[in-house]
Amino acid sequence: MAMQESGEMYLETIYVLSQKSTKVRAIDVGEYMGYSKPSVSRALGLLKRDGLARTDEFGAIKLTEEGEAKAKSIYERHTVLSKLFMNLGVDEKTATEDACRIEHYISDKSFNAIKAHMMQYGADLDEATE
């Protein structure tokens, strides 16, 4: 079953925050996303249920191996699409907002074609494809 867009956004947020800090807490996720504590708690419960995240004994959120792989994929889509739009002359704010919406719906086939095109024509994808 495909994950809902909101679940993907939570995974991506946990991944991004975990790149900046060794300890990601529910409150950090809520502040980053602008969501209430009950919303974050519900989403984390679903991610845990699906085997994508867990919390340690101190309440820090950790992605499972499967959760991290999925989060990296979502983040890569976000960064590649953002760079594509900026390369086309779209301002950064609009480019990242549009990428955030599109990243959840674009097919693997179309995304891989965009990525291959950008790599072929020398677009700077270093941070997007790490």
As a whole number of angstroms, the distance between CA 129 and CA 14 comes to 18
Contacts of 57 (CB under 8 A, 6+ apart): none
Write the pLDDT tens digit of every residue in 7-51: 899 999 999 999 998 899 999 999 999 999 999 999 999 999 999
State whether 40 and 61 are in the same domain: yes
pTM of the prediction? 0.82
State whether 60 and 81 are in the same domain: no
As a whole number of angstroms, the distance between CA 49 and CA 52 comes to 8
Domain boundary among 24, 53, 69: 69
State whether 65 and 12 are in the same domain: yes
Q: Is residue 129 part of a domain?
A: no
Write the pLDDT tens digit of every residue in 62-119: 999 999 999 999 999 999 999 999 999 999 999 999 998 898 889 999 999 999 988 8
Q: Is residue 61 part of a domain?
A: yes
